[in-house]
């Protein structure tokens, strides 16, 4: 089986006690108009952590990011499955410069995450106790 490896970044801002969510453009081929965490494909020669830094910079303009740990790993069931590595990252930056791939962003508390994120992401956040970060 061949699988594409994708990194996603749960970006947490401790002073805001919020996660950063970005909204895909309406013209996007996959997930048009949906809310998600920043991330994307690993390019040739990159480590997953290199891809996290690059994707976060490209999609949010955040250059000061610390990669704390892997939050969880999942398989996205598609025609060819994708391996998803989801990292927990932290930043103190609040002002975001979204890329052409996205049309909006929000610093979200748990309630807002539950309203905006697709159900499969919410289930993963619950299973892997991601929301607990907001109450630490």
How far apart CA 80 and CA 54 sit, in angstroms, is: 24
pLDDT in tens, 71-80: 999 887 777 7
What DSSP designation does 30 have? S
83 burial class (0-12, 13-18, 19+ CB within 10 angstroms)? middle
Q: What is the pTM of this model?
A: 0.93
Domain that holds residue 25: 4-135
CA angle 16, 19, 25 (to 5 degrees): 125
Q: What is the CATH number of the domain that holds 24?
A: 3.90.79.10
Opening angle at CA 39, ends 38 and 43, nearest 5:
155
Q: What is the pLDDT of residues 81-132, one digit of tens each?
A: 889 999 999 999 999 999 999 999 999 999 999 999 999 999 999 999 999 9
95 sits in the region (left: phi over 0; alpha: psi -120 to 50; else beta) called: beta
- Structure tokens belonging to residue 84: 């998803």
- Whether 7 and 85 have beta carbons less than 8 Å apart is answered as yes
* Total of domains in the chain: 1
| Residue of 42, 45, 44, 26 whose CA lies nearest to 34 | 26
User: What's the N-to-C CA distance of the chain in angstroms?
Assistant: 40
């Amino acid at each position: 089986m061949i699988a594409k490896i994708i990194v996603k970044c749960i970006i947490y801002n401790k002073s805001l006690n919020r996660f950063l969510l970005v909204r895909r453009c309406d013209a996007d081929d996959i997930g048009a108009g949906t809310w998600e965490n920043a991330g994307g494909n690993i390019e040739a020669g990159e480590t997953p952590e290199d891809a996290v830094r690059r994707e976060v910079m490209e999609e949010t303009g955040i250059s000061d990011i610390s990669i704390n740990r892997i939050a969880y790993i999942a398989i996205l069931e598609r025609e060819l499955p994708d391996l998803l590595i989801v990292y927990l990252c932290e930043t103190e930056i609040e002002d975001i410069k979204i890329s052409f791939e996205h049309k909006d962003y929000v610093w979200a508390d748990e309630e807002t995450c539950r309203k905006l994120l697709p159900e499969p992401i919410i289930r993963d956040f619950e299973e892997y106790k991601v929301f607990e970060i907001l109450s630490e």
